[in-house]
Amino acid sequence: TYEIKLLPSLPNGTPIYNSADIYFDYNPPVYTESVKNTVTDIIPNCTDEVKNYIANNITIYPNPSDNHLIVQSKEIFKNASFYIYDISSKMIMSEKNINGNLHELNISDLSSGLYIFEIFIEDEILLYKFVKQ
């Protein structure tokens, strides 16, 4: 994170660009991408209503699971993507273009342990944990 101390004379709409050079030990710097911020005195009203609505309408079961994981939604999935990651954040499985409101994943090849299940739907990312027995 970073903080910008604004000059009081900057009008709304003024762009401020920022980038950084990060140094580790005596190695050459790592250059970050430039970020653009725009001065404004308007604070947007953000909401998580859509994300909460989607999350509250999806059920993942059984958890813990042996061989199959079922994803059920009260709404119909349209081109959803499912991803399973191990605890080191390595992607283990993926299924794309999921449609309908009920989908079964075969997880019999997974080792026993804790996994993260990610759903990408309607430009939202939802994360769930499950245990493979």
Place of tokens 């009203």: 45
Nearest Cα to Cα of residue 54 among 6, 125, 114: 125
Question: Would 78 be classed as within a structural domain?
Answer: yes
Q: Using the predicted structure, report yes or no on whether residue 46 has a pLDDT greater than 70.
A: no
Backbone angle region of 50, left / alpha / beta, with phi > 0 → left and psi within -120 to 50 → alpha: alpha
Question: Would 83 be classed as within a structural domain?
Answer: yes
Question: Would 67 be classed as within a structural domain?
Answer: yes
Q: Using the predicted structure, report yes or no on whether residue 48 has a pLDDT greater than 70.
A: no
Q: Using the predicted structure, report yes or no on whether residue 2 has a pLDDT greater than 80.
A: no
Report how many domains make up the chain.
1
Classify 6 as helix, strand or coil.
coil
Question: Would 123 be classed as within a structural domain?
Answer: yes
Question: Could you tell me the CATH number of the domain that includes residue 63?
Answer: 2.60.40.3080
Domain range enclosing 87: 49-132
Q: What tens digit of pLDDT does each residue of 58-111 get?
A: 899 999 999 999 999 988 888 999 999 998 889 999 999 999 999 999 999 999
The pLDDT of residue 92 is 94
Whether the CB-CB separation of 84 and 115 falls below 8 Å is answered with yes
Question: Would 37 be classed as within a structural domain?
Answer: no
Q: What tens digit of pLDDT does each residue of 9-27 get?
A: 888 888 888 888 888 888 8
Question: Would 115 be classed as within a structural domain?
Answer: yes
